[in-house]
Structures are given as structure tokens and as C-alpha cells.
Structure 1
Amino acid sequence: MNKLNLRSGQLITCGPPNQQLGSLTFPIACRTETQDDFALGLKLLHSFEYEEAEKVFASIISEQATCPMAYWGVAMSTFHPLWTPPSEAELRKGANALAIAQALPPSSPKEAAYINALAAFYQDWATVGHRPRCLRFAQAMEKLAARYPDDPEATILYALALTAAADPTDKTFAQLKKAGSLLTALAPKYPNHPGIIHYLIHAYDVPALAPLALPAARKYASVAPSSAHALHMPSHIFTRLGLWNEAVASNLGSVAAAQCYAEQAGLKGHWDEELHGLDYLMYAYLQQGDNPRAKQQWTYLQSITAVEPLSFKVAYAYAAIPSRYVLENRQWQQAAALEVPGALVPWEQFPWQRAILHFTRLLGAVHTDNKAAAQAEWAALQRLETILKQQKDAYKAQQVHVQLTTGEAWMRWQEGKLEEAEALMRRAAALEDSTEKHPVTPSEVLPARELLGDMLLAMNRPGEALAAYEVNLQKHPKRFNGLYSAGLAAERAGKLSKARSYYQQLLSVAAASATRTELTEVRRFVQSQASPSIHTTNSPSLGAKTA
């Protein structure tokens, strides 16, 4: 028991004072007075409030140390299937908790099945990789759900397991669709179950399926407003669909709740969930052309000197937030000189996140004609890709390989080797299209297919550039640069009605406070098309070097 080192202390939630986290029932074969506590822990678990969920399960153990499902709850709290893989300490805690649960007299065959299914994930954790163990958990949950078809929690957790084990390269989305269909079937009978609503959003968090999750996204925050993650998670779908006002509102709420949590928990600094929300908030503001508010997020990030826990989300935010700002605004000199943030983040532990910074500087160096600097950044990306391959992290290694290929494409473009540059850029776009983005990010810092369009436009091939931009907009709808560049390419290709359509879409998503200079020329073009007597010879510009 002492080795478990269970979390303890007062339960912390922000938002409504009466802990609104949705509703569910899951009877367990322990003391009657523990039923409500177990349901509370499970609701927290379903909204990824893992630390607080563990406190609840630990309190049950302190009162009734022979309750097997309380140990199952602890092990689920350290698993967090859709986040980064558990640390060694978390794996030890989860495995030890399950060992105690399995050593206790079984309360019921069903509870034993739950415990054994989760044990399939923790078994041989020191020698078997994370994804194979996720697959084992999914297979075990499939059997459990089939054995107990009247138990909604079995089906809900099976859907979660399917989503966690889904292959990011599977463009049929077979497992995600299956998870979504299982949850959709349960939703009418359990309309306020946090797991059903939350996991539907995760299952459909890909461009092709995102519209199916919009009802859940618009409901989740009202069902579980006491969870910071429930306030944030809908923004995944809002971002997928280009609903920027809703994405902003969602993340303003989640950031405020995360700040509240840090204060109530007595953290020395900020909670990592806050920085996750900041990255999504930065991205949404940028797509509205609202540079002042976007810059505020970067400035605020620079004021943060301590974060708990210092997780992968923190490293990603520190790399992505400044990179997004300079790249989306094509501030190439600032991109070339972007500094790696200070000592707060141990960057050697986060090679994928650090690669974002080198990629940003590489593009900045290319567009400011600094070949030596571009080559140095490309070499840095190579080293980081090698590290990720050695760590057997194939997904992140491939993401860095996309950056390497993109960087090499623009280096060849800089040298005037246009055919080679185009071939490399098309390869990078195809590779990026072959996988899905990581849930930690609202989007790649710059989509590769959008960069292909930029290159083709710089080569004075607007018709082909337009085709690239249009394909990119299918995956990244209503991006500021996507709409603007598509309009610009259409204009240069002589497709004025299509140019007007894209420019009008851009004006419709731009915030009233938007300050992007491109909007002035866009408005002038739209007005000239509406009034034929008005003519302008100044068309908008990508602001990039032309070939």
C-alpha cells in the first residue's frame, strides 16, 4: 500500500460549486456508502481529471482497503489512454494497484473481468511497447463488452480503448467509426453521461468525421462545466470545422478554469492544462486575423516561469505558440531568429516539440536568404528525427520527417532548383496527408499542402497553387492563410468569381478587431468586383520571395 503513493487531499474542481460533472451509475460490490464516491471518481476519470479521480479512488481505499474496483480506478487514473503514454512511475503505480486488486477476493465475475482487462495493458509494461499494450486492452474490453451487453460502462470503455488503439495511418477510420457508432447508440439512453459525450468528440476528431461530433461538442461543456478539460475539448471539433468564435470561447473558459485549479491546488506555477488551452486559443485568434489577441497569448506565455506537471503539453505549447505567430504572419526575420525558450522546459526530453522550433527557423532562414543557417537547422532536424527513431516513436519521427522534407524542398527552391523543390514539397504533403495530427495540437504549425500551394504560387503557377490550396482547405477549413491564398491564386489565374468567393469567406471569419494587412487588399478587391467602375491594380501578396 505504501508503494502506491496515492494522491490525497481535498478534491479540487472549478466552475459551479456543486461539482457538475455529468451523470452515471456503476454499482460496485463494496460498501453502500462508497457508491456515490466511486461514481464521482468515474465521472472525473471520463473527463480526464486524472489527478482528482485518483484522490477519490484513494479515499475509498482509505475507508475500505478491500474494495478491488477502487484499485482499478487508481490504475485507470494513471493510464490516460488518449494522452501521452504513462511514465515509468505511473506504470509502476498502476501495475501495483492492479496486483492488489487481483490479490483480493473477487467481488463479482464482472468486476474481476474489468480488473483483468486493464491488467492486459499493464502486463509486461517494462518490455512491451505502449501501442501493443493498448491493443491488448482494446481486445480485452471487446470481450468484456460482449459478455456484459447491458453494462453501458463496458461499451463506453471499449469505445475509448478502440480510439486509443486506432492506427493514425488508417484513412478508413475503421476503429474510430466503430467507437463512434457504439457511443452514438448509447447516447439517447444516457444523454448526460460524460464519457459518451467526451469520447464521441475524440472518436470523430478527424476532418472527415468531425461534423458528426458537433452536437456532442456543443453539449459537453454544459454537462460537465466543473471540468477544465470538458470546457476545452469541444474546441477540437470547433477547430476542425473552422468555427473560430466557438473555439475562442471554449478555450477562454478552459484557460480560466485551469488557472482556478492551479490556485486552489496550491501549485507553484501554472497547470499544464492551461498551456494546452493557450495553444488552441492562439491558433483560433490567428485564423481570425486577430494579431493583437494572438500576440497577447505569446506575451503571456513568456511571463510564465513555472508549470506543473512539466508535461509534453507544456513543451508543445512553448514551441508551437511563438512558431505559429511568426509563421502564420510570414515574419521571416523573426522566424529565423526565434530563440528556444529558456530553462523551464528540458528540451532533451521532448525532441518532437523542439523540432518545431528548428523547422520555424529553417523556413525563416530560407526566406531571408541565409543558406548556412537553413542548413544548420535542417541538420538539427535530422538529429531529432534520429533520436525519435532510436526511441521507436514512429509517429513523431514521421512528423519530423515531414518537416525535414519540407525544409529541404524550400532549400532547393532557394537555390533555384525548382523541379527538385516541387517534387520534395509534393512528397512532404503526401506524407503529412497519410497520417492524422496528434490530439495535443490544433494543427500543424503550417500545413504541408498549404506550403506546396505557396511554392507553386511563388513559381507563378496560380492554377496549380489553387488546386493545392483547395485540397488543403478540405482538411483545414477556414484557415486565414488558406482562404487568403486560395483567393489570391484564383485571382492570378483569372478566376475572379472564385477569388471573390474565397475572399468573402475570409472576411466572414475575420474578427472585427483583425489587423492583418491582407484584409485591406481583400476588401478592395471585393469592392471592385461589386462595382465594376472601381478598378485596382494592387492585388494582395503572399509576402514571400518569388522564384
Structure 2
Amino acid sequence: MNDSERAGLVSGGLSDGGQKPVKVNKLRGIICWGVFAVILVFLIIMTSVFTEPKSYKAATPVTYLTGEDVVLYNGLGPIKVLVPTTNKLNALANYQLGLQLLQLFWYDLAIQKFQTAQSMDKRLAMAYVGEALAYKQPLWQTEDVAAAQAVLARMDANIPDNYMAALSGRERAYINAVRALYANGTSLQARETTYSTLMQAVANEYQDDPDACAFAALSLLGQLNSVGGYLTPEQAQQVRYNADELLGDCTFYFPNHAGLLHYQVYLYDVDNLEEAAKGVTPGIALGKTAPVSSRAQHMRSHIYMRLGNWSQVVDSNTAAVAASDNYCTAVKGSNTCDADNRWHALEWQMYGQTQMCGVTAATTAYKRMQAVAASQNYTGDYGQWLYRMYAHLQLQSLNSVAAVGLKAASDNATAMLPPPLYMTAAIQNAGDIQDHFWPPHAEAHALLARIYSLVAGRTLTQINSAAANATIAAAQARIDAIVARQNDLTAAAANGTLAVAAAGSAANAEMTALLTTVQLQARALVAAYSCVGGDSSKCGVWRPLMDQALALHNNFSSSSTLPSLKIAPTPEFYGNLLVATLPVASDPFEQATTASRMFSVCLQQLPGRMQCVLGSARAAKALGNTDMAKSWYSQLAAQCRAGDARFPALVEAKANTAPSPPPPKKSSGKGLRRALASSASA
């Protein structure tokens, strides 16, 4: 080996004095590394876009979902794929799943999917739009403007201006509409109406987009339900007509779109029974279209409840609870999994069971809610669900299950009182009107139910026992405190010192009236049963109290059938007290007549309400109208045929509808003639 060759080895390769072979080797290296780099970049791009590169040509978005997400995507109704600007099918898949969830009010999970889509493609503008929309719940009268504005700010930070400008016209139209919905420095009315106008324009321009149509329709329904209460009756009628037209047109072209069917059911969830009946078809279709959605299974019960079809109310909500259970089991979720849908449906299921005299089944549902609320330390909505279900079971069972425990078996002790739910530190001065609407409503009715358990059907000695008397007084005092707090809030809303005054004064006034009726009913309840027990000093007290409650009820009450609101409706409550005090009435005919009228009003507002059917039968019987009484008892026996055979109301109904025993057979007269003949011959 010569010196030149040795020098080449030391320098890393053969060398012949720096001639051409060295250049060739360098060129080959560059080419090789270049090819390798191209292949590497290609693989990186493929990996980021496709999770299964070998089958990407035949792929659809659902290909890039796994586990229970696949079940959801395939079970929430067909989706029309209008691809937003993205080259990543995994991001697109999560965006579309979020969209399906959003249309069915599965808000918490929808937000998760939209955020997952953003993490996979931070420039996917529609994923930010979807998440922002999830912070507005128009039909629940709630919103989180700050959270939505943060999403839009994040979108602006992640998407360059030039990329934003290159989005499709449809995407930019969605973005403009959502920016208007959460605009600063404008009123709730301006935000909601401007958004609605813009979204209707999107639906009109892009008629191949069923989601745009669904969002536009939802925006109109949102105006009808807004806490702003800014529509006149004439405007509300026009908005409702527009929503009807829009949904009718869109469901004609997209008959299986879950969102459109969902909002049609809401559209027909109205007092007019002829209109309400139109909701049966979309309600059934929604359940079939989105079988894995608890909300989709639940919604038809809104219509069936208005029609008094209790078996369907129970069946649809049983299916709704099961849908949530199936999903939460699959994802190993806790009691917080799909909570808004699952426990809402359980409350409705239990209510339907009470209307069918199914007290045992209703108690089982209640005990499940009791365990769920305990797992969450009775906080937030869990406490409200439990308190409302407690009140329903106690009142609708007519005390047939005695005093059900609110938290544990030991709660059955006479001194048990529902622990405070309202006016805790968390919501004493909350700005959200809903915090001053639902918690006091739930607690006040639980207190009313507790008083009922201590006086209904009890002797005067039992009512006036030291323990019972102290508990009744404490419960009444607590109701008084809740009403006083509501009066303060109403005054603050009226004079503008409450942060929610602009949007919530009307809601505060309604809740104050509702809670005041509970206060009056609690006092009347104790007086009426004390009167029945023999305390004549109370006999003239209770009816004036109920007259005041009825006047309030007539001023604010609509015939809304929502179980969460209709726990102790005043016409039913008044009628029951009139019937209970008939034995000591100074004018039984007048009292029975008034009771009959109360139950008639109740059934106009709440068709098939068990206690009002029973009360109508009792009032007719007291008036001597045997045929009418038998007709009402027959209706009760029919709707309760699957209920508990030993439930007192059902036992009473069956006893009053049993066929009369046949009259004794007429004598042929032979025996009499023989007796006379024998007497004559003697």
C-alpha cells in the first residue's frame, strides 16, 4: 500500500490525491440520504393523517375511531359528511362524533371530542366552533360565555390569518355566527337573535348541510325559551312558525338526522294536545335513529307524558337509563358518567312508575338515586335529583311507603329533616339565575314531603307529639327562610343590584311565587289534618291559605308536565285536602263540588295524573254520582293494572269497580202458596 492509499484510509476512505472518485462517493451519499429523507417525511405524513396506511384509500372517518367511540359514531344516527378544511381523517372523525353528540345534548362528551380533534389538527376551525356551541344550552336556559370566548381565542391563536382566509365560505359563515353568539358588550337578546339570523342564513345558503338547519332551528327554539323573555306573544308565535317550517323542510330531505328529529320533539312539546300528538312520530323515529343515546330514548316521554301514556313514559325512560348504563359500563365510567342524561331519565322513570301505582318499582329507582347522590356527597345536581325524587315518592305514594329515608334507613326517625341544599356558601350569592331556581325548589318540596309524612293520615296525638311537632316547626321555618331569600333576590333583580337582573328577574319572580305556594301548602297541610284529627280551631285556617296558593298558581302556572316542576301542583294538593276534610266539613256538598273542580283543572293540565284521577273518583262518590265515580275508578284501575296490587289507591279502585253481586233469585211462589194452603187447612 502506497502513501497515498494510507492517507485515504486515515481520512475515512480511499484517496488518490483528491480525484473524481471522492466526488462520486459524496454525490451517492447525498442521493441516498435524500431518498431516505423523502421516505421518512412521507411516512411521518402518512402516520399523522392515517392510522392504517395500507387501507387509506377505502377509509372513512370512523376507521380512525376505536373502542366505544365506534359504537357511538354508528349509533347516533347517520351523518352527512361535509368535510371541513383538514387533511387529517382522525381529527375529522372526532369532530364528526362531537357534532353527533352535540345535536343530542351530550355536551360534556361532545366537548371532549372537539378538543381531541383540535389536538390532532390545531387548525381545524370547525372543532373550535363545535366546542364553543357546546357551552350554550338554549333549551336548558344556561350558557358559559367565558368558556366559549376562551375557545374562540384559542382558535384565533392557533389558526393563522392566511389559513383562516382560505377556509370555505360555509366554515367562515359558521365562525361569524358563533362569534355573534358570544360577542362582548351586547345584550342576551342581541346575541341570540343575531346568531339565529346568521345561522338561518347558513342553512338557506348551504341546503346540503342538515346540521346548519338543525342549529338554526335550535336557535329559534332557544329564543322561545330564553331567560331574557324578550319576545312578545305575537313574536313568539312567528318564531315558532318559522321553526316549524324550517324543521319540516329539513326533515323532509334528511329524515334520519338525529338533531332535526330531536328538535322536532321539542317543538311539539306544548300544552295543546293536538299539537303535542305530532311529536309522537319524530319521537319514535329519534329513538330508532340514535339507539345508543340516552337523550334520544328519553325525548319521546315528553310527548307521552302530555298524553298521559304512563307505560310509554316508563318504557322510554327505562331505555334511556339503560343506554347510559351500557355506555358507562363500556368505558368503565363512574356515577358521573353521562350524569345529566342518566339521572334525569331515572327521575322521569320513577315519576311514571308512581303514576301507574308501581310504588315498589319507584322505590327501587329512588334507592338507586340515593346511592348515586351519596357517592357524590349529595352535591350539585345529585342533591337536587335526590330531593325531588324523595318528594315525588313520599307524596305520590300517598304515604304508603311511610317515611322514606332521604340519605339512610336511620333517616326514618321522626326528627329527620332534609339537610340544607340551598343557601350554602357555594350558591348564597351566585350570579347564575339557575342556582336560585332549582336548589330551593328541590329543597322546599322535600321539606313539604317530610311534613306530609308526619301529618297525612295521622291522629292528632301523633301530629302533636313533641318530636313530630318540633320537626314540623323546623321544616316550616326552613321553608320560610328559603322564601325570604327569594324575596330578597326578586327585589334585587327589580332594582338592578343583582348581577342576573337583566336576564333573570322574571325567573326569580316565578320561583318566588312557586316557593310561596309551597310555603302556604305546608301550613295548610298541618292545619287541615289537625282539623280532621279533632282540633276545631284549625278548621277555618287551612282553606284561606290554599286560596292564596291557588291564586299564585293561576298567575304563573302553565300546564307544563315536567316532573321536576310538577311535584305538588296546587289544584291537586287543594283537592286532596278538600277530600281529606270531608268528614268534618260544614258543607260537604260544596266541598266535594269544589274538590271535583280542582281535580278537573289538574287533569286538564296534567292528563292522567294518578292522584287527580283518584280524587275525581272520590269527589264523584261523595256527591252520590255512582256512575261517574265508577268511570274514574275504572280509569285508575286500567292505568295501574301493572302496579302494586296492594297499593291503597288501586285496592280502592278495584273495590269500587267490582261487579255488584247478582240479586237473589225470585221465588216461584210455590212455597208461599203451600204455606197458605197448610194454614187454611189447619
Verify same fold: TM over 0.5.
Answer: yes
Matching residue within 209, 215, 222 for 1:157: 215
User: Secondary structure of the equivalent of 2:75?
Assistant: coil
Matching residue within 406, 418, 439 for 1:353: 439
Contact 1:338/1:357 (8 A) holds in 2: no
Distance 1:98 1:493, change over 3 A: farther
Instruction: Give the residue type in structure 1 aligned to 2:549.
Output: M
Matching residue within 244, 265, 270 for 1:180: 244
Structure 2: distance between partners of 1:310 and 1:13: 29
Instruction: Give the residue type in structure 2 aligned to 1:497.
Output: D
Match of 1:525 in 2: 656
Matching residue within 105, 113, 117 for 1:56: 113
Contact 1:171/1:434 (8 A) holds in 2: no
Whether 1:478 aligns to 2:622 is no
CA drift at 1:151: 4.3
User: Secondary structure of the equivalent of 1:187?
Assistant: helix
Match of 1:428 in 2: 552
Task: Identify which range, 354-363 or 40-49, moves more after superposition.
Answer: 354-363
Whether 1:276 aligns to 2:329 is no
Deviations 1:128-163 (A, max 9, x none): 676664344334334444555564433321111111
Deviations 1:461-516 (A, max 9, x none): 22222222122212211121121111111222233322222211111111424242
User: Secondary structure of the equivalent of 2:143?
Assistant: coil
Matching residue within 220, 224, 229 for 2:286: 220
Match of 2:255 in 1: 191
What is the aligned-residue RMSD (CA, Å)? Answer: 3.7
Instruction: Give the residue type in structure 1 aligned to 2:394.
Output: V
Contact 1:252/1:281 (8 A) holds in 2: yes
Distance 1:309 1:148, change over 3 A: farther
Matching residue within 261, 266, 291 for 1:202: 266
Deviations 1:267-315 (A, max 9, x none): 4544313221211111011111111111111212222233599654x34
Structure 1: distance between partners of 2:641 and 2:416: 27
Matching residue within 114, 135, 150 for 2:174: 114
Structure 1: distance between partners of 2:422 and 2:479: 25
How many residues are matched?
Answer: 520
Instruction: Give the residue type in structure 2 aligned to 1:490.
Output: A
Match of 1:137 in 2: 195
Whether 1:253 aligns to 2:319 is yes
Structure 2: distance between partners of 1:15 and 1:505: 46
CA drift at 1:374: 5.4
Structure 2: distance between partners of 1:63 and 1:436: 44
Contact 1:388/1:396 (8 A) holds in 2: yes
Q: In the TM superposition, what are the counterparts of 1:398-437 in structure 2 within 5 Å?
A: 398-409=510-521, 411=523, 414=527, 415=538, 416-417=540-541, 420-434=544-558, 436=560
Q: In the TM superposition, what are the counterparts of 1:322-361 in structure 2 within 5 Å?
A: 322-331=390-399, 334=403, 339-340=417-418, 348-349=426-427, 350-351=435-436, 352-361=438-447
Task: Identify which range, 191-200 or 354-363, moves more after superposition.
Answer: 354-363
Match of 1:376 in 2: 477
Whether 1:69 aligns to 2:126 is yes
CA drift at 1:13: 4.6
Task: Identify which range, 487-496 or 194-203, moves more after superposition.
Answer: 487-496
Contact 1:270/1:306 (8 A) holds in 2: no
Structure 2: distance between partners of 1:497 and 1:15: 58
Match of 1:543 in 2: none
User: Secondary structure of the equivalent of 1:19?
Assistant: helix
Q: In the TM superposition, what are the counterparts of 1:436-451 in structure 2 within 5 Å?
A: 436=560, 441=563, 443-451=565-573
Structure 1: distance between partners of 2:130 and 2:333: 24
* Structure 1: tracts of 5 or more residues without a match: 1-8, 535-547
Deviations 1:213-251 (A, max 9, x none): 111111212111122222222222222222222222222
Matching residue within 19, 39, 43 for 2:100: 43
Instruction: Give the residue type in structure 2 aligned to 1:321.
Output: M
Deviations 1:498-538 (A, max 9, x none): 2222211111111424242121121111125x66869xxxx
CA drift at 1:355: 3.2
Contact 1:409/1:420 (8 A) holds in 2: no
CA drift at 1:445: 1.1
Matching residue within 318, 321, 340 for 2:386: 318
CA drift at 1:36: 5.4
User: Secondary structure of the equivalent of 1:225?
Assistant: coil
TM-score w.r.t. structure 1 length?
0.83
Distance 1:482 1:112, change over 3 A: same
Contact 2:560/2:605 (8 A) holds in 1: no
Task: Identify which range, 374-383 or 281-290, moves more after superposition.
Answer: 374-383
| Higher relative contact order (Cα pairs below 8 Å, separated by 6+ residues) | 1
User: Secondary structure of the equivalent of 1:527?
Assistant: coil
Task: Identify which range, 383-392 or 476-485, moves more after superposition.
Answer: 383-392
Structure 1: distance between partners of 2:556 and 2:128: 41
Task: Identify which range, 35-44 or 500-509, moves more after superposition.
Answer: 35-44
User: Secondary structure of the equivalent of 2:192?
Assistant: helix
Matching residue within 81, 85, 91 for 1:30: 85
CA drift at 1:196: 1.0
Contact 2:65/2:93 (8 A) holds in 1: no
Deviations 1:317-349 (A, max 9, x none): 122111111111233983886643699997853
Structure 2: distance between partners of 1:110 and 1:76: 16
TM-score w.r.t. structure 2 length?
0.68
Distance 1:146 1:407, change over 3 A: same
Match of 2:640 in 1: 510
User: Secondary structure of the equivalent of 1:445?
Assistant: coil
Matching residue within 608, 617, 640 for 1:487: 617
Instruction: Give the residue type in structure 1 aligned to 2:632.
Output: Y
Percent of paired sites with the same residue: 23
User: Secondary structure of the equivalent of 1:508?
Assistant: helix
Match of 2:147 in 1: 90
User: Secondary structure of the equivalent of 2:142?
Assistant: coil
Match of 2:357 in 1: 289
Contact 1:41/1:56 (8 A) holds in 2: yes
Distance 1:123 1:13, change over 3 A: farther
Structure 2: distance between partners of 1:80 and 1:357: 24
CA drift at 1:70: 2.0
Distance 1:267 1:462, change over 3 A: same
Deviations 1:335-377 (A, max 9, x none): 8866436999978534432432233424653744757345403
Match of 2:306 in 1: 240
User: Secondary structure of the equivalent of 1:82?
Assistant: helix
Deviations 1:390-426 (A, max 9, x none): 4543325513422313432552572423552243132
User: Secondary structure of the equivalent of 1:507?
Assistant: helix
CA drift at 1:99: 4.5
User: Secondary structure of the equivalent of 1:430?
Assistant: helix
Structure 1: distance between partners of 2:377 and 2:267: 28
Contact 1:323/1:357 (8 A) holds in 2: no
